Structure 1
C-alpha cells in the first residue's frame, strides 16, 4: 500500500529501521494487509482502517444514518480539480480493495481455538463446540476504468453513462474473479440448515474432522458474500477559476446488503477492505490543486491541496512535500514547487506525515565553552567569526532564496505590498539580530572586568557541567544579544534601542529602553531553549557578584505547571551548583561578602510547606524524626545530587529551622562536598544550596527562584514578598537570614527577643535589588482568564519596583508558539516584544538551524470504523507491544536474522544493520518498549486503564505473553510517583526492579520458576556489556552466554526486557518539560483541543530517536475529522497553524478578581515599608492608614498596578471605584485583619475564579436575606 511518505534512503539508520518496522507491522494489522488467516473474529471487527461497511438490513430504516455513516461508513470519496484535455486524453481510475471469505478451520486450529485472540467489539458468541470462524484474504483485481477527458469537461450531477457502464463491468469482473479464486483455492465454509456444533467424535483426530467437514459440505452451499459496489461521478463547474478547469467528485460505495444472521453468526462479511482510489491523467489532462485556506498566505508555504477526501486524504506522489530533492536538500530548506500541477493522485485512508529533524546549524564555527571561557585568547575572535558568518548569510543566502522564489508563478514582486515586502521585512529582522549580536560583542569588549569576565566564568561553569562541548548557535547568539540589555542596569549607555530603527515591521509598541523589551524566545520543543535562558541567567549571576550585588534575587523563572517547574528546578540546581563551584575559586567574589549562589523553589503549601514555624504552626515538629519521614520525602524536589549522582536525603535543622537537601555520599566522592566552606554561609558540607520552604526564600533571597506562575499572587497576602522583588531587607539575623521591619523573618522560631533584634542583627543594604531577569516559561500557556489575571499581577509587580526605583526587570519569554506574540506580550506585560530567532529565508531554515533529511517522528492518522474508539486504542497497543516482544525474542533467538536486517519490514533495503552485536540491538529496542497514551480527560484515563487490565492483558495472556506494566501520569499523580516513573523509564537497568518483574511473571504463569537464576545471570552480563566503562565484559561474552543458554532462558530474558514499565496513560501534565529519550511511541486518544498542546504533547515522542505518533481521531467529532481530512497539510505546517493565544487583560470582570490582591499588595509590599506605617496586616492599623493616605496618589498607584489603562475608560473607572470602596471598607469594617475588611479576599491562585461567599451563622431570616442581597 502506498503511504504518501518518501522512504528512499539507501541505508537508513538502525533506529529508523526499527521505527519503520513497528509502524508497518501495526498498520498492516489495522488495515488487514496481512498474510495470515483471521480466526474467531469477523474481519470487519478486527480491521478498522480503510474499510467500507455494507448496508445492514436491520439498519435501513435507522433515522440516525449520519451517525452510522461516521461510525461505519460505506463510501469513500475524492473531490479533485481537473484542467485541460483533448480528444483521446483519458483519466484512468483504479480501485484498490480486498475482501475476506469464510473458510473451514483446520483440525489444528479447532484443537487450539482457545489460544486465538478475539479483538472484536461484539459479544463473544463463539461457543467452544461450534465450528471456529476462520477467514482468508483475497485482493480484488478491479480492471482500470478509462474515462474520456470530454466526459469530465461537462458539468453533470449524474454519473455519465459511459462511466457507469465501465465501472459496473469492472466490478463484476473483479467480484467474479474473487469468487472463482475462493472456490479454487480454499476449503470454503458451507452454510447449512443445521447449526455449527461439532460433535466430540469429529475432534478425536484429523481424519475424523476431515470426514465431518466432507459430510457437512454435502448438505449446503458455500457462504460467499454477495459483493456489490458502485462508483458515482459528479462533474461541477469550477466557479473560483476562469480557466477551463472543472471540479470532479468520485465516490466508491459498498452497496452490498448484510443480513442480521450473517452479522451475528459470522457467516459472510461483504465489507470491502483497504479501499483506495488512484487517478492518473494522460495527454494535456492534468490535476490542479485547491488552496489550503487555514494556512495564512506566506511565500514560504506550499498551500497546494490536491483534493478533498471523505474518509481519506488525497496526495500527489509526484508532488510529495516530504521528499528530498536530487541534491539532497530537504523540503524545509528550499522554495515550494514553482509549477503546481500533477498527473497522478491517490487516496490515503491512513494518512501519514514524516517530520524531519530540525537541528542547530554550525555555519563553520565551533562555539565551544572552552574557547569562550577566555575572551582574549580566542573567545572574541570566535564571536567575530560568527558575526562575519551572519553577515555572509544575510547577503548570500537571502539573495539565493529570493531567486528561487521569483521562479514561482504566484510570486508577487511588489516591494510595498507583495511577497517581496514580506521577504524584505524578515531580512530586516535578521539584520536587527546581527546588530544586537554585534552590540553584545562590543559590550563584552568595553567592560572586560565585569561583563566580559562574567561571560568567561559562565562558560567555565557550563564546560564543567555539560558533557557536550559547546553552545548551539541560536543559544550563543541569544545570550550575547541579552548581555547589553541586562548590563544597562549598571551601565546606562546600553539602555538605548537604536538597533530597532529602520524596521519595516508595523510595531505594536515603541520601546523606551532595552530593558522594556520582552524577548520572545521561540524554538521547536527540545531544541535547547532552557539552556539558552539559563546561559543568560548564569551570566547575570556572575555579573551581579562582580558589580557588587552580593546577595538577592538575580532571576525569577515562572512555570504554568508544577511538573514543569519541578523538572526545570532540578536542571537549574545543577547549573547553579557548578556555577558556585567556579565562583568560590575567584579571589574577589569567592567569599564573604559575596554570598553563595542558591536556588529557591516557590510553589505553595500543597507541594512544599510555606513555613516551618509560625502562629499555630507545628511543621517543625511534624517534619522531625521517623514520623516525619513521609513529609520529608514529599518535600524532596531534587532526587539525586547534581554533582555526584548520589541519593538526596531531606533533613530538618534545629537551630536555623530549614528543610535541607543533603547529599548522602562521602566528601571524598562528591565534588560539591569537597568544596571549601566558611562559617558565614548557611549551607553545611553535605547541603545543596536549595530552599523549598516559602519562608526560607524570604530569609535567604535565593539567586534564582523557580516556581509556579500562581505564586505571583503572594504579593496580595505576604508582605515579605518584597524581599524578593524590591529588596526590602535592611537587617540580617545572625541565625535566620535576611529580615525587615525590625523583626526576624523566622520570628516564631528565633531565640532573639524582638526588642533586642534590631541591635543584634547586622544592617544590610541591597544593591540594585530587583531581579535582573524574569522568565515566564511556556508563555503560550498564559491564556484566557489566567493570562488576564497574570497580566494584572505582572504590571502590579513592575509598579511596586518602579515606586522604590528598584530597577526594571528584563523579561525573556520562551514559548512554543509565535502566533500573535506581540499581542500576548502586550496583554501580559504592557511592553513591546521582539521575536528570536526571526523567520529565515525558508520554512525550516534560518542562520541558526536547519532541517536535516532524517526522521524526527512519523505522524499517523487513524479513524476507527466498525470499532469503538477505546477498543481501537487497545488494539493498537496490543499490536505494538506484541511486536516489540517479538523483536526482543527474535534478537535473542535468531540474532543473525536481526543483524542482517531480514526481520525488518518497512524499508526498501537489504543491507545489514549498522550494529555489530546483538546487545546493541537490544539496547536500541529498549528505546521503543514504552508507549504513552495521551488522554484528553481523566475519565478517558479511567476507562483506558480498566481496559488495559481487563482486555489487553487477557489478549497477551492468551498469546502466552507477559502483561503490560502500566502507570498513570495525570494532574493527580504525586511528585514522588512522577519522578519514580521518569527515573525508571530513563534508566531501566535496576536489578532489584528486574527481580520483581521476574517474580511477577512467574506468579502469573508466564515463566517457570527454575529459569529465574539463569535469566538474572544473562541479564547481568547484558547490562555489563552495554556499560561503556566496563572493560571486562563485552559483546562477545554476552553472545557466548546467550548462545549457550536454554531456549526458555532466552525467551524469559526477552519477556523481562519487554516487561519493564512499558505503557503510560497521561494527560496534558506531560506535555511540557518531560524530556525522556525513551518515549518513542505515542497514541492520542482523540485530537487535543489546541494545536499548541498537540505540538507540545507529541514532541514527547521522538526526541533522540525516530518516534511514532498515532493520532486516533474520534469518528464522530467534527474537529477530529477535520484534522484527519487535512492530515498531511496540517502536520506539515503545525507551527504555523497554532491558534493565537486568547487573552484580554481588559476583560470586563477581570478587575473585580484581581483588584483585592493588587490593593493589598500595594499596602503590604509598599506602604508597610514606609517609615511609621505600622503593621498593616491589622485592621486598626489599616484604618489609620486609610485615614491618612493621599487618596489621589494611591488611586494613581493602583492605576499603575494595572498598567495605566488610560485608553480603557470603563476599566479605569472600575479600578478607581473599587479602590475608593476598599478604602471605605478599611475605615468602616471592624474585622481584626485588614484582608477581612475588604469585601473580596485576595486571590491565592491565578486559577482562583469561583465567587467567594461569606459563611457565618445568623439567627434571623432577615439577616440571611440581607446577606444574600449584598452579595
Structure 2
C-alpha cells in the first residue's frame, strides 16, 4: 500500500519521493478501517466511518491509501477466480470534482498495476473505469467511434457529450495523449500512451471510459457520480459491477463530499443505496462504506437515512476544539491563515466595487513584479478568482470587467498610486506597457464542456512566468469542491452564497499552501448581505458552527412515488436471473416468490428508517407490480423492460418524457427527478 501511494504521489505531484509523507490522521484512519475490510464479521463493518477534516487537509490520500490496501488484500488473501471484478466504488456528486479525482485515481491504479506485474500478484489487470453518463463519456462503443471520427476530421471540434478523450496526459509518465491514443477494435476501446515508447503503458493503459467496456470488464476501481446509479434499473449488465458476473461484490464504497448528498438529490440517492446494498448482499458481501466531508451537520441522521447504518466520526471530538490530537489549530505567528476581507459600498453598485477590486489586484501584482518581489510571492496573488452565485451575475460582470478594468488601472497608476508607479518606472498605454490592455481570462461553469474544463484547470496550474497563465478566472459554484491548485491565493466573492457550507468550501480553494486572501463583496441593497457584513468578524471566526444541517427524506411519500419502484426493479433484475434480459419482462408472474422476497426486504428497510410510511410503501410497490402484471397479460411475448423507440411495449417509461399512462416512470438520473415542461405565451 505504501509503495503504491508513494508512486501515486510522485506521479501526480511530479515531486521527489523524499518529500512524500503521511499525516498521522491519514494513517490512523486507514488503520481504524482495515479490520472492517479484513473481517466481514467485525462489529464495525456495517458502520459508516466519516472522515471529517478541514478542506485541503489530505482526505483524498487517506481513502486512496485505503483503496490500495483493499485491492491488494483481496488478491493476496485468495487465489480464487472471484478475486477479480470491482473492488472499489468511489462516488462524487459534481462532474468537475469527478474529473479532478479521476486523475489522482488513475495514477494510483497505474501504480497498483505496475506492482501487480512486478511482484506477480494474482488476478487480472488492475484497472479503473469512469462511469459518469453520456453527458460526459460514451455509453456505447459506437458512440465513441463516431466521436473519435469527428475529432480526427476536425481537431478543434468541441465535443459537449459522449467524449471518450477524458485522459489527455499519461498518468504514469506525463506524456501527452492525443486522438492517436484512442483506438477502437473488436468492440472495445483501447487507451494508450502512444507518444512515449519508453512508457510502461505505451501500448495499453488500464483505463476504461465507455460503459460497454466497463460492464464487460468490471474494472477494479470504478469512479462514478451518484447520478449514474439510476441506470442500474435500465442496464441488464450493470449488475456486473456489484457481483452478478461471478466475482465478489465490491469491498469498499467511498462517498466523497457527503454534505452534497442532501435535498432532493440525497432523498432519491438514499433509495438507490438500498438497492445497491441489497444486490451486493445477494452475491455474498455487504461493502464497507466510508465517507468524507469538511462541512456537515446532522451527519448521523443523514447517514441513517441514506445507508441505514450508524456513524463513526473520525477524528472524534476532543476536549478542546483547538486540539483533536490529529489536528491542532495552527499558531498564526508561525503559519498565517487565510484572511477574509469584507467590502460593502453605500451609494454605488456591487459591480462597481468588483471592477475597482479587480483593477487594484491587477495593478498591485504588476507593481510587485516590477519591484522584484520573490517569484513565489507574486505567483501566489497573480491569478485571482471571481466567485459568483448565479450564471447571470457572472455573465454580466464578465463583460463589464473586460470593458472597464483597463481605464480603472490607468487611473490608479496615474493618480492614486502615482508615487509607487513612478518608483518602478511603470509604463501605461504604450506599445511596451508593463500592464497589458488585454487580460487572459476564462470561466469555470456548467457551460463549459469537459474538454474545456480540463484545459482551464491545466492552465490554472501554470505560473505567472508562463504565457498561458490566466490573469483572472470567473467561476460558479462548480469551483466550490474538489479543486486543488496550490498557487491560487486570492478570491473575490460576489455576494454571500446561499449556504454557509458552500461559502466555506468555495473560499477554501485559495490559500491552500500559502497565505490566502478572500474579499467578500456585499450588496448593501440586500438585507441578507448587509447582515453578514455587520457581523463579519464574529461570523468568520465561528462560521463552521453555522453550517446548515443536511436534509434527507428518502422515505417521504413523494420520494417513494419517484424512486421506490425503481429500486425494486433494479434488485429484481440483478438478483433474479430470469428477469435480467430485456425481453423477459413478459414472463412475470404476480405470485412469484422471489419477487415477494425482494419486496419484503425493501419494506423492512422502510420500516427500520420510517415505520409510519411502511403501509403506503407496500401499497405503492403492489400497485407497480399490478401494472407489470397487466402489461404482461396484454402484451404476451412482446413486453420488454425498455424500448427507446416504442415505449408502448415497454414496462419502463422514462421519467424524462411525458408519460400519458398510469404506469409510474423510471428515473434516468437521481438528480433530474421532474420532466421538463414547455411554457407557451398566448397573446390575448
Q: TM-score, normalization: structure 2?
A: 0.85
Partner of 1:1199: 603
Partner of 1:518: 48
Shift of 1:1184: 2.5
Shift of 1:965: 1.8
**Secondary structure in 1 matching 2:505:** helix
Aligned CA distance change for structure 1 residues 785 and 924 (closer, same or farther; 3 Å): same
Counterpart pick for 1:962 among 433, 436, 445:
436
The whole-number CA distance in structure 2 between the counterparts of 1:1070 and 1:601 is: 21
| Structure 1, gaps ≥5 residues long | 1-454, 496-512, 674-684, 730-764, 892-897, 899-920, 995-1059, 1255-1271
**Secondary structure in 1 matching 2:62:** helix
Partner of 1:637: 166
Counterpart pick for 1:842 among 306, 312, 320:
320
**Secondary structure in 2 matching 1:606:** coil
- 1:163-203 per-position Cα deviation (integer Å, ceiling 9, x unaligned): xxxxxxxxxxxxxxxxxxxxxxxxxxxxxxxxxxxxxxxxx
1:986 to 2:410 alignment = no
Residues 554 and 771, structure 1, Cα contact 8 Å, conserved in 2? yes
Shift of 1:1155: 2.3
Q: TM-score, normalization: structure 1?
A: 0.47
Residues 568 and 599, structure 2, Cα contact 8 Å, conserved in 1? no
Aligned CA distance change for structure 1 residues 1192 and 642 (closer, same or farther; 3 Å): closer
Counterpart pick for 1:950 among 403, 426, 429:
403
Counterpart pick for 1:620 among 128, 139, 145:
145
The whole-number CA distance in structure 1 between the counterparts of 2:585 and 2:608 is: 29
Aligned CA distance change for structure 1 residues 1098 and 805 (closer, same or farther; 3 Å): same
Residues 236 and 581, structure 2, Cα contact 8 Å, conserved in 1? no
The whole-number CA distance in structure 2 between the counterparts of 1:812 and 1:524 is: 17
Partner of 2:285: 807
Partner of 1:929: 382
Shift of 1:1242: 1.4
Aligned CA distance change for structure 1 residues 1185 and 636 (closer, same or farther; 3 Å): same
Partner of 1:1246: 670
1:696 to 2:239 alignment = no
Instruction: Please list, as runs of the form range in 1=range in 2, the aligned pairs for 1:557-956 lying within 5 A after superposition.
Output: 557-587=90-120, 589=121, 594-613=123-142, 619-624=144-149, 626-627=152-153, 630=157, 634-650=163-179, 651-668=181-198, 670=199, 672-673=200-201, 685-725=202-242, 727-729=243-245, 765-766=246-247, 769-802=248-281, 804-853=282-331, 854-891=335-372, 921-956=374-409
1:1088 to 2:497 alignment = yes
Partner of 1:484: 35
Instruction: Please list, as runs of the form range in 1=range in 2, the aligned pairs for 1:530-569 lying within 5 A after superposition.
Output: 530-548=60-78, 549-569=82-102
1:1221 to 2:628 alignment = no
Aligned CA distance change for structure 1 residues 665 and 990 (closer, same or farther; 3 Å): farther
1:1186 to 2:589 alignment = yes
The whole-number CA distance in structure 2 between the counterparts of 1:885 and 1:660 is: 47
Residues 464 and 578, structure 1, Cα contact 8 Å, conserved in 2? no
Residues 1087 and 1120, structure 1, Cα contact 8 Å, conserved in 2? yes
Residues 717 and 1164, structure 1, Cα contact 8 Å, conserved in 2? no
The whole-number CA distance in structure 2 between the counterparts of 1:459 and 1:1075 is: 18
Partner of 1:1211: 613
**Secondary structure in 2 matching 1:1149:** helix
Residues 182 and 192, structure 2, Cα contact 8 Å, conserved in 1? no
The whole-number CA distance in structure 2 between the counterparts of 1:724 and 1:783 is: 25
1:1134 to 2:505 alignment = no
Partner of 2:660: none
Q: Which aligned segments of 4 or more residues in structure 1 are displaced greater than 6 angstroms?
A: none
The whole-number CA distance in structure 2 between the counterparts of 1:783 and 1:862 is: 32
Partner of 2:451: 976
Comparing 457-466 with 1187-1196, greater Cα deviation is found at 457-466
Residues 661 and 690, structure 1, Cα contact 8 Å, conserved in 2? yes
Shift of 1:659: 3.0
The whole-number CA distance in structure 2 between the counterparts of 1:464 and 1:542 is: 20
Residues 144 and 162, structure 2, Cα contact 8 Å, conserved in 1? no
Partner of 2:571: 1162
**Secondary structure in 2 matching 1:1082:** strand
The whole-number CA distance in structure 1 between the counterparts of 2:194 and 2:674 is: 45
Aligned CA distance change for structure 1 residues 979 and 647 (closer, same or farther; 3 Å): same
The whole-number CA distance in structure 2 between the counterparts of 1:974 and 1:889 is: 37
The whole-number CA distance in structure 2 between the counterparts of 1:848 and 1:1183 is: 58
Residues 649 and 661, structure 1, Cα contact 8 Å, conserved in 2? no
Shift of 1:805: 4.0
The whole-number CA distance in structure 1 between the counterparts of 2:140 and 2:485 is: 34
Aligned CA distance change for structure 1 residues 619 and 965 (closer, same or farther; 3 Å): closer
Aligned CA distance change for structure 1 residues 1223 and 1183 (closer, same or farther; 3 Å): farther
Instruction: Please list, as runs of the form range in 1=range in 2, the aligned pairs for 1:46-195 lying within 5 A after superposition.
Output: none
The whole-number CA distance in structure 1 between the counterparts of 2:313 and 2:552 is: 19
Aligned CA distance change for structure 1 residues 1156 and 933 (closer, same or farther; 3 Å): same
Asked which structure has the greater CA Rg, the reply is 1
The whole-number CA distance in structure 2 between the counterparts of 1:1207 and 1:1144 is: 10
Residues 308 and 608, structure 2, Cα contact 8 Å, conserved in 1? no
| Structure 2, gaps ≥5 residues long | 412-427, 430-434, 643-649, 653-662, 679-684
Partner of 1:1110: 519
Shift of 1:1131: 1.3
- Indicate the structure whose relative CO is greater, using CA pairs within 8 Å and at least 6 residues apart: 2
Shift of 1:463: 7.7
- 1:1130-1173 per-position Cα deviation (integer Å, ceiling 9, x unaligned): 11122222111122222231101102321321232122x2xxx2
**Secondary structure in 2 matching 1:790:** helix
The whole-number CA distance in structure 1 between the counterparts of 2:38 and 2:587 is: 42
Residues 362 and 409, structure 2, Cα contact 8 Å, conserved in 1? no
**Secondary structure in 2 matching 1:1144:** coil
The whole-number CA distance in structure 1 between the counterparts of 2:464 and 2:162 is: 23
The whole-number CA distance in structure 2 between the counterparts of 1:686 and 1:924 is: 42
Shift of 1:686: 2.8
Counterpart pick for 2:582 among 1134, 1155, 1177:
1177
Shift of 1:989: 7.0
The whole-number CA distance in structure 2 between the counterparts of 1:1071 and 1:952 is: 26
- Report the RMSD for the aligned CA atoms in angstroms: 2.4
Shift of 1:1071: 0.8
Aligned CA distance change for structure 1 residues 457 and 982 (closer, same or farther; 3 Å): closer
**Secondary structure in 2 matching 1:851:** coil
Partner of 2:659: none
Partner of 2:655: none
The whole-number CA distance in structure 2 between the counterparts of 1:819 and 1:1208 is: 21
| Corresponding pairs, count | 617
The whole-number CA distance in structure 2 between the counterparts of 1:456 and 1:935 is: 40
Shift of 1:654: 4.2
Partner of 1:177: none
**Secondary structure in 2 matching 1:1234:** coil
Residues 6 and 20, structure 2, Cα contact 8 Å, conserved in 1? no
Counterpart pick for 1:1237 among 651, 666, 676:
651
Residues 599 and 705, structure 1, Cα contact 8 Å, conserved in 2? yes
- 1:1045-1082 per-position Cα deviation (integer Å, ceiling 9, x unaligned): xxxxxxxxxxxxxxx41111101101111111121110
